[in-house]
Structure 1
Amino acid sequence: MTLFAEVRHPSSAKAPLVLLHGFGGIGALWAPVIDRLDDDQPLIIYDLPGHGGSLDADGVGHAGVMAKVILADLNRRGLSSFHLCGHSMGGAVASLVALRTATRVRSLTLLAPGGFGFEIDHLALRRYAVAAEVGELATALAVMTAPGHVAERSGLERLAATRQAPGAVDRLLAILASFLVERDGRTGQGTLPLAPLDGLGVSTRLLWGTADPILPVSQAENIWPKSEVTLIEGAGHILIEEARDQAAAALNAALAEG
């Protein structure tokens, strides 16, 4: 089965923006950010392998496996250039896509990306992975966001609907296991080969919440030089919802570069 992607304004002369969601999410969760972009901005909004409409697509696994599948799909679409944005695991995927085809990437925007350090709250991610009902998802997401943040009901309902598909939870648990590693008796995440990204020359923006309970904000220090770093005071991990204005502002700045 091929990847699912929602494509908007494909005939536009502008370079498309490719959006890659985080672990356990779906492309539709980008709505709060998309609503703050230009109405005619061409978009390719993926459901990553093993998620949503891409539940049975090839590429179910860690970020490296997913990056190969995403890049193959972008090649199939014949795109000579594009902007990239990824959140959490999608940020790891976006970074690896950029590493493999830097000359085609006009900008790279990363929202609390995975793979920038060993530390990760894998137990919270597991609770999120097995949540299949709206109430369970709300409880799981409350642990991933800043205190007091309430997830939007519409997003929870759309996400819950995808979790009802046969095998959906099993896929997520398999993906989680694929990017976790053991070190000195502790469980963490695999890390990206960040050093080569330093020399790519890709305009990069990094956003991270200072109260991120899943990936410590200290991992933002591992970004390569000349990248624009924005630390969002008091925000948790789900920046698509919690910091929609800041995320959209970063994307609009990136898209304005051409």
Structure 2
Amino acid sequence: MTLFAEVRHPSSAKAPLVLLHGFGGIGALWAPVIAKLDLGQPVIIYDLPGHGQSLNAEGVGHAGVMAMAILDDIERRGLPAFHLCGHSMGGAVASLIALRVHDRVASLTLVAPGGFGSEINHEALLRYGLAVEPDELAHGLAAMVAQTAAPEAAGLDRLADARRLPGAIDRLMQILASFLVERDGSMGQGTLPLSTFAGLQTPTRLLWGTADPILPVSQAKNIWQGAEVTLIEGAGHMLIDEAPDMVAVAIRAAVAEG
């Protein structure tokens, strides 16, 4: 089965924006940000392997495996250049894609990305990953935010539909296990090879909430030199819902400069 992606405003003149969601999500959850992008912006919105309509696609596993699957699909689409934006696990995937094909990535926007340090609230991710119904999902997402912000009801319903698919929860548990690592008796996440990003020439923007309960904001300091860092005061991990304006502003600036 091939990866699912929603394509909006395809254009031969403009490099598309590729959006990659986080663990347990679906591409539809980008809606609050997409609504604030420039009209006519070409966008490719993926359901990552093992998620949503890509439930049985190749590439289920950790960020490196997913990066190769997304890149294979980008190659199939024949895109000579594209902008990348990833949230959480999708940020780790986006980073690895940019490292591999930096000459084709016009810009890289990372939203509270995974892999920038070992510390992670794996218990909250487990509860979220096991949730199926909208009220359970809302409760799981509430543990990831620091402000009064909730996903749109339509987004929750679509996410619940995805979670009800046969094998969906098993896939998520497989993915969670693939990026968690036990060190010295405590559970953490695998980390990106950050030293190899030192020479990355791709224009990069990093956004992180100062009250992120999943990935501590201290991990933002591990970004490579030359990246533009924006710390969003009082925001948590779900910046797509908590700070869609700021995420959209960063993406619009990246696309304009790229």
TM (norm. structure 2) is 0.98
In the alignment, what sits opposite 1:222? 222
1:147: how far off? Answer: 4.2
Q: How does 1:195-214 map to 2 (within 5 A)?
A: 195-214=195-214
Residue matched to 2:240: 240
Q: For residue 201 of structure 1, report the CA deviation from its aligned partner.
A: 0.6
The alpha-carbon deviation at position 11 of structure 1 amounts to 2.6
Verify the 8 A CA contact 1:12 1:41 in the aligned structure 2. Answer: no
Residues 233-256 of structure 1: per-residue CA shift (max 9 Å, x gap): 010101111110000000000010
Runs (4+) off by over 6 Å: none
Unaligned 5+ residue runs, structure 1? none
Listed as ranges, the matches of 1:56-205 within 5 Å are: 56-205=56-205
Q: How does 1:40-55 map to 2 (within 5 A)?
A: 40-55=40-55
TM-score, normalization: structure 1?
0.98
Aligned residues: 258
Given that 1:118 and 1:191 are in contact with CA atoms closer than 8 Å, whether structure 2 keeps it comes out as yes
Q: Distance in 2 between matches of 1:100 and 1:109?
A: 16
1:154 deviates by 1.6
Q: Which runs of 5+ in 2 are unaligned?
A: none
Structure 2 Cα separation of the partners of residues 12 and 45 of structure 1:
17
Distance 1:197 1:176 in 2: 25
Q: Which residue does the alignment assign to 1:9?
A: 9
Q: Which SS does the other structure have where 1:102 is aligned?
A: coil
Quote the offset at 1:72 in angstroms: 0.6
Distance 1:150 1:6 in 2: 23
* Seq. identity, %: 72
Measured against aligned partners, the alpha-carbon deviations of 1:205-249 in whole angstroms (never above 9, x if no partner) come to 000000100000000000001100000001010111111000000
Q: What is the Cα deviation at residue 148 of structure 1?
A: 2.8
8 Å contact kept, 2:86–2:109: yes
In structure 2, give the amino acid aligned to 1:207.
Answer: L
Tell me: CA distance 1:10–1:151, structure 2 relative to 1, closer, same or farther (3 Å). Answer: closer
The 5 Å alignment of 1:14-25 reads: 14-25=14-25
Contact 2:19 2:43 in 1 (8 A): yes
Task: Give 2:151's aligned amino acid.
Answer: A
The answer as to whether partners of 2:147 and 2:242 remain within 8 angstroms in 1 is no
* Distance across 1 between alignment mates of 2:45 and 2:215: 24
Cα offset, 1:152, TM superposition: 2.2
Secondary structure class of the residue paired with 2:148: coil
Report the AA paired with residue 5 of structure 1. A
